[in-house]
Amino acid sequence: MSIYRHRTGLIEDVHETPMVRNAPVPAKSRVLSAESRDWLRDRKANPVGHLLPVSARWLDRLPLEVCPRELARHYPRIVNLIALQWNDRNACSAYFEALSFDRRGARQGFPVEVHREILRLCEHWYTRG
């Protein structure tokens, strides 16, 4: 039996609601066209733009010489991600690498002081006991 032949049985027994051609669509049920919809906003969640309490506690536990104050002030979402991954060897290592190397090719980079803080923090992470 070919998969392209019409099958008989259950499929024929399914009852569908008949479609009325050219029937007006209620305003609430209209779907936005693909061109008018902002797909980027729908697909991408907005990151938290402030320091989370868990991140603030993590910063308090860091030695003063490696505490990234400028990074936390200008890029709290990055500090949140580092704090949440701090004890995960693979995830934190991968995130430090992603922060250090531009894989997209169009980034302007961090301000000098923020970059220094990231490097100090990264060195501290790799050499901690």
SS3 track for 67-129: CCHHHHHHCHHHHHHHHHHCCCHHHHHHHHHHHHCCCCCCCCCCCHHHHHHHHHHHHHHHHCC
Q: How many domains is the chain built from?
A: 1
Condensed to tens digits (0 to 9), the pLDDT of residues 79-122 reads: 999 999 999 999 999 999 998 886 766 667 889 999 999 999 99
Contacts of range 29-35, beta carbons closer than 8 Å, 24 or more positions apart: none
- Asked if residue 25 is part of any domain, the answer here is no
Rounded to whole angstroms, the Cα distance separating 80 from 78 reads: 5
Condensed to tens digits (0 to 9), the pLDDT of residues 62-79 reads: 999 999 999 999 999 999
Q: What's this model's pTM, rounded to 2 decimal places? A: 0.62
* Domain of 80, in residue numbers: 53-127
pLDDT at 53 over 90: yes
Rounded to whole angstroms, the Cα distance separating 16 from 18 reads: 6
